[in-house]
Chains A and B, each alone.
Chain A
Amino acid sequence: MSVTDTSPTVKIAADLTRTPAPEHKDVVFDVQDVGVSYDGNLAVREVSLPIYSNEVTAIIGPSGCGKSTFIRVFNRMNDLIPGAKVHGKVLYHGEDLYGKEVDSVEVRKQIGMVFQKPNPFPKSIYDNVAFGPRVLGWRKGLDERVEEALRRAALWDEVKDRLKKNALGLSGGQQQRLCIARALATEPDVILMDEPASALDPIATTRIEDLMHELKRHYTILIVTHNMQQAARVADMTAFFSVDIAPEGDRTGILVEYDETSKIFTQPSDQRTEDYVTGRFG
């Protein structure tokens, strides 16, 4: 502090016991009464929630609660599954994601996805990242594009000297970051991650989590995770899904609670959330 600095060194908060409500950014997805059914059986029922831009939103819940099914709604991956049907409305920046004129390939360019198991192509590191841009016909400045994507995925320093080597020679954690780089190369707006760290060791997991903090400056991130502490560490907002079992035995995923992550892990509003996060579920 300089001598001329007259700013007070002690600031007195008006109310020390309250933290101000965090301000959300724009709504990227406005999910309205969305359900998913397979061959007429409801897998996820009537979910409504907003997804905010430049935040990490985690989806947690027990096995079979439909969290993976739900995240696939956002890039129309369910279109690829025979018999799958999405009900309700998903607005993406105000536009109907399931509108007749919307091209699902174009959607998947905007909304990238990273899966549980790293799935690089059996090609070079470079070709893996360049694949998407090439498919889209973006030939100009490809080297720069590949480098930028690898940098953003925090992998560049580790692979810059072996870009032509086979991607399958990378470690599991590196392969997963390569898959993130591959998703970033097509300049998406949103990245969906389905259990991105569940096959990785703790150190590789930490790197992916750190990366999420970094990436949310540029992208909106949705993550499905089994690991509640991971959600607590990385997410700004958390949605808790549970399973509703009908008397006839039909199991349907339902959204129980959606709130700030800190609220979910300190004062959840719903007893079912409380039971799940404290480990008293089942």
Chain B
Amino acid sequence: MRVGFQKGLDRLEASIHEEGTLAMRSLRGALNALVQQDEELADEVIAFDDEIDARYLAVEEGIQELLARQTPVASDLRLVLAMLHINLHLERIGDYCVTIAKLVKLAPPVAPDRMFVDAFEEMGARAEEMIRVALDSFAARNLEQAEMLVDLDELIDRANRRFVQQVLSFGRDPKLHEWGLRMIIVSRCFERIGDHAVDIGERVAFLVSGEFREFTDASHSDE
């Protein structure tokens, strides 16, 4: 039994889960900044991304050292490869939260209709749930749970499409137009966070089954 190697793997996996927790905190902050139109909170979310990035780099360095010194194979190799990807997906999720926070600051201060607030809250909650499911499926090596992300993704995709339709139905107020354009990007950010959660699920499936396959293939879908 290679005790040092196993400890190294365990430490990396724990770091990934901590990074996931940070990403979810960032998402929650971005969502609150958005619905409360709180620029100060938006700044905090932007600054907080440094912590996610630091964690991302530490995991990447840990993986590099493990590859160089321990030459993992078989399920160990799949775990290391899965972590390499999951690490990047979490870092990207953090970046989308920063984009949302920046758009909160850029958008003109209009008082949006309650239905937009509801839409954001729905998408934010769905994105958060998807990250949690993805990380839980990783922790439990649970293929079924990972595959559930496909259905969850469909819900967030639908919410995004509905949101775009609502913005398109705006009147001629130029301020409202600008706000709508920026908010379409925000909506898209939530939708992309969902995609990254699905990608994490795909890596979990690879780790468990040894086979890599895309859960859904955007370039070959019916839509």
Contacts and interface: CB of A to CB of B under 8 A. Distances in A.
B is bound to A? yes
Given A266-B73, A274-B74, A274-B75, A279 B2 contact: yes
B77 A265 contact: yes
Contacts of B78: 266-267
Interface string A259-282: 000000111100001100111100
B210 interface: yes
Contacts of B74: 265-268, 273-274, 277-278
B2 A280 contact: yes
A278 B213 contact: no
Q: How large is the interface on B (under 10, 10 to 19, 20 to 34, 35 or more residues)?
A: 10 to 19
A278 B75 contact: yes
Contacts of B2: 278-280
Q: Which of B76, B78, B214 has the most CB of A within 10 A?
A: B76
Interface residues of A, number: 14
Contact of A279 (B1, B77, B210, B214): B1
Contacts of A268: 74
B3 to A, nearest CB: 10
Nearest to A273: B74
Contacts of B5: 279
Contacts of A280: 1-2
A278 B76 contact: yes
Contacts of A265: 73-74, 77
B71 A229 contact: yes
The majority secondary structure among interface residues of chain A is helix
Contacts of A229: 71
A17 interface: yes
Nearest to B6: A280
A89 to B, nearest CB: 32
A256 interface: no
A8 B71 CA distance: 38
Which of A229, A268, A280 has the largest count of B CB atoms less than 10 A from its CB?
A: A280
Contacts of B213: 17
B209 to A, nearest CB: 9
A28 interface: no
A133 B96 CA distance: 72
A277 B1 contact: no
Interface string B175-219: 000000000000000000000000000000000001011100000
Interface in A231-271: 232, 265-268
B72 interface: yes
B75 A17 contact: no
B73 A277 contact: yes
Contacts of A273: 74
A267 B71 contact: no
B69 to A, nearest CB: 12
A279 B73 CA distance: 9
In order of increasing CB-CB distance, the 10 nearest A-B pairs are A267-B210, A279-B2, A265-B73, A277-B73, A274-B74, A278-B76, A278-B74, A277-B74, A17-B212, A268-B74
18 contacts: A17-B212, A229-B71, A232-B73, A265-B74, A265-B77, A266-B73, A266-B74, A266-B77, A266-B210, A267-B74, A268-B74, A274-B74, A277-B74, A278-B72, A278-B74, A278-B76, A279-B1, A280-B2
Interface of A: 17, 228-229, 232, 265-268, 273-274, 277-280
Given A267-B210, A278-B74, 17 more contacts: A17-B212, A228-B73, A229-B71, A232-B73, A265-B74, A265-B77, A266-B74, A267-B74, A274-B74, A274-B75, A277-B74, A278-B2, A278-B72, A278-B73, A278-B75, A279-B5, A280-B2
